[in-house]
Amino acid sequence: MWSDNETVRDLVNFSHVAEIAAERIVGAKGEPLSIGISGDWGVGKSSMMKLLRVSLQGRTDLNVRSVEFNAWLYQNYDDARAALMEAITAAIVDHALKNKATLADKTWKRVSKLLGRVKKLRVLGLLGTAALDYYTHGHTTGLVAGGLAAFGGLTDGSVSAADFDKAKSVATEALKGGQELLGEKPGESAAADEEETPRKAIQAFRDDMEASLSEMGITLVVLIDDLDRCLPKTAIATLEAMRLFLFLKHTAFVIAADEGMIRQAVRTHFEDVTLSDDLVTNYFDKLIQLPIRVPPLGTQEVRAYLMMLFVDADPDLSDEQKEAVRAAVCKRLAETWKGTRVDKAFVAAEIAHCPPGLLNRLALAERIAPILTTSATIRGNPRLIKRFLNTLTMRVSMARLQNVQVDEEVLVKLLLFERSGDRTAFAELLRAVNESDDGRASILGDLEAVARGEQGLPAPEKPWNDTFLQGWLAMDPPLAALDLRGALYVGRESNPIISRADELSSDGASVLEMLLRLTSASPTVDAEVAALSGQEIAKLTDRVLARARQETTWGTPGILNAMQSLAGSSPHAAASIVAFLGEIPVAQVKANIVPRLSITAWGRQALAALAGRTGISPQVQRAIAATSKGAA
């Protein structure tokens, strides 16, 4: 199984993108910088962040302290703004502790005050606007907005002395609680802080942090991941907290998120305000100075990615061999613009005595890479590719544990169809396999022949004529002649196997077996059919017609005997059989079917419908005309 977690092992030459981001951070020379790494879900944004961190750690031209922050982890558990501030401050304090011996006393004192300032800002966020207004003479900020509405008398237009006294009392109690959180006793605030408003507290925090970073000679790089997984409130709170730190010297913020999700979060957050696309863009652009998009994987990269996943999973290769192959593949990918390829021959040549099993998997990667790249449901997404391979591995294991003989390439092809193909077409495939006696999907015969370029066959109709299915039908191995029951059995967690025969009673199943063996008319079988209920006969008719659809020549095939027996026992069965005969391609109808049908009323009805169809052969037309004259 392949892990779905982010990794620092670059399998598709993405390290150069991380290097670009690292160079921009170095090139900022201490000026504030914000970078946005965007891309769809599962394309590798988190791995890109890991690669960026490794790149920064390896540089000697910049002293970096990096902080990883996942806002999603704090959702519903803590205020994202406060959590981000504490994570940043803790990283600075930790760096100072490790380097305390080399720090000036004033620097250490400044750093040691940062955590206290974060606590104070957290308390200010808890106090609410009314309490702050009382003690800060009305100097409130957006960080602590929202508390005023809790004091009804102050907002309903009729403020009384009692209302003001009530607000004063609440504010006093709130301040006491805040002082306790800060570790202060009531009345012990420093004289210098007595007049400190929220605005001053925030600015003091910014000044201390900027000065601390400068004096320690480090650049703080904050890596914010999974922001697009958060609810709009958490996402916006994190972005707003960034505004508190952005444009401080010696800081760089890197945000990994799906840009579309963040834009939607902005719209949701400001739901009471009509925001144009330009306003949403402006909001985002003010936060992100340098946007970097994770490049989508093309066929070359998907093929290389698949091959590297197979290489990494091979137990016969050493870690040194795997790393050598990875380096060679990434170097080769960087040169594909010249026309070079990463394919089976290249990868196998990089492995001395490549194991046969791995060779087969490399060949498999070559075949399925184009369809995994172009499939509308996968589109070369690395996470979805891993999930595809993990599902395949699970089904191979299930087949092994239950002694089901199945070809791995057949499993791959069916899983591709199940994952990316048209649902109606896949249901038709399942029904064809379930209703056949040998597990073959006869409907695939002509479809595969057309997709492989065979001439003289009718073009496929919907849903089989779309681009994906035409590519899928042309893939090796062809499936029409194979027993697919085992492959579908191990995939039954997604597609239950339901056969029409399973719905029959024991008597019905016995009669069905007799019907399918008929080579001529049998009064004994007719009597057995007539003894069944109408519902059971209807089920038998469906089953027999499913077999009849496999016929390609309609003279007097053996299945016609079963159809005649059923039609003679039930008017409803006769109607279904007449309707079926009316849909047989006229090119398949032969003249010798006419005498067989002409001896029954339902048969003559089918012939009448057949006579009215265009394209019927002259021989069949003459046979029908002859029976009509005889009847007259």
Please determine, for residue 247, whether its predicted confidence score (pLDDT) is greater than 80.
no
Cβ atoms of 601 and 630 closer than 8 Å: no
Q: From 261, 278, 293, give the residue that closes a domain.
A: 293
587 and 479 in a single domain? The answer is no
Q: From 146, 177, 197, give the residue that closes a domain.
A: 197
384 and 451 in a single domain? The answer is yes
Please determine, for residue 311, whether its predicted confidence score (pLDDT) is greater than 90.
yes
Residue 10 domain flag: no
- Short-list 26, 39, 74, CA closest to 256: 39
36 and 162 in a single domain? The answer is no
82 and 220 in a single domain? The answer is yes
- Short-list 476, 540, 480, CA closest to 505: 540
Q: Looking at 26-40, 73-87, 342-356, 616-630, which range is the least confident one?
A: 73-87
Q: How confident is the model at residue 142 (pLDDT cuts 50, 70, 90)?
A: very low
Q: Looking at 177-186, 432-441, 468-477, 616-625, which range is the least confident one?
A: 177-186
Tell me what pLDDT residue 524 has: 92
Q: How far apart are CA 10 and CA 329, in angstroms?
A: 10
399 and 451 in a single domain? The answer is yes
Residue 202 domain flag: no
Span 492-514, average pLDDT: 71
More confident position, 172 or 236: 236
Please determine, for residue 246, whether its predicted confidence score (pLDDT) is greater than 80.
no
67 and 125 in a single domain? The answer is no
Q: From 237, 271, 293, give the residue that closes a domain.
A: 293
Cβ atoms of 610 and 578 closer than 8 Å: no
Percent of the chain with pLDDT over 70: 83
Q: What are the pLDDT digits (tens) for 363-384?
A: 989 888 888 888 778 888 888 8
Please determine, for residue 169, whether its predicted confidence score (pLDDT) is greater than 80.
no
Rounded to two decimals, the pTM is: 0.62
189 and 249 in a single domain? The answer is no
319 and 284 in a single domain? The answer is no
Q: Looking at 6-15, 214-223, 524-533, which range is the least confident one?
A: 6-15
Q: Looking at 42-46, 169-173, 463-467, 593-597, which range is the least confident one?
A: 169-173
Q: CATH no. for residue 254?
A: 3.40.50.300
Please determine, for residue 340, whether its predicted confidence score (pLDDT) is greater than 50.
yes
More confident position, 334 or 172: 334
Cβ atoms of 604 and 624 closer than 8 Å: no
Please determine, for residue 325, whether its predicted confidence score (pLDDT) is greater than 80.
yes
Q: How far apart are CA 426 and CA 78, in angstroms?
A: 46
SS3 string, 103-155, reads CCHHHHHHHHCHHHHHHHHHHHHHHCHHHHHHHHCCCCCHHHCCCHHHCHHHC
Residue 303 domain flag: yes
Residue 536 domain flag: yes
445 and 542 in a single domain? The answer is no
More confident position, 29 or 281: 29
Q: How confident is the model at residue 297 (pLDDT cuts 50, 70, 90)?
A: confident
Please determine, for residue 128, whether its predicted confidence score (pLDDT) is greater than 60.
no
Structure-token pair, residue 573: 């069965």
Tell me what pLDDT residue 620 has: 87
183 and 119 in a single domain? The answer is yes
Tell me what pLDDT residue 526 has: 92
Residue 465 domain flag: yes
Tell me what pLDDT residue 4 has: 62
**What domain range is 340 assigned to?**
299-489
Across the strands, what pairs with 64? 219
Instruction: For residue 554, give the DSSP letter.
Output: B
Residue 545 domain flag: yes
Mean pLDDT across the chain, nearest whole number? 80
Tell me what pLDDT residue 328 has: 93
Residue 388 domain flag: yes
Q: How confident is the model at residue 154 (pLDDT cuts 50, 70, 90)?
A: very low
Residue 6 domain flag: no
Please determine, for residue 136, whether its predicted confidence score (pLDDT) is greater than 70.
no
325 and 456 in a single domain? The answer is yes
Q: Look at the alpha carbons of 308, 309, 312, 317 in this order and tell me if their dihedral is positive or negative.
A: negative
Q: What are the pLDDT digits (tens) for 115-124?
A: 887 777 766 6
What is the identity of the amino acid at 254? V
Q: What are the pLDDT digits (tens) for 384-441?
A: 888 888 888 888 888 888 888 888 889 889 998 988 888 888 888 888 888 787 888 8
Q: State the total domains in the chain.
A: 4
Please determine, for residue 172, whether its predicted confidence score (pLDDT) is greater than 50.
no
271 and 331 in a single domain? The answer is no
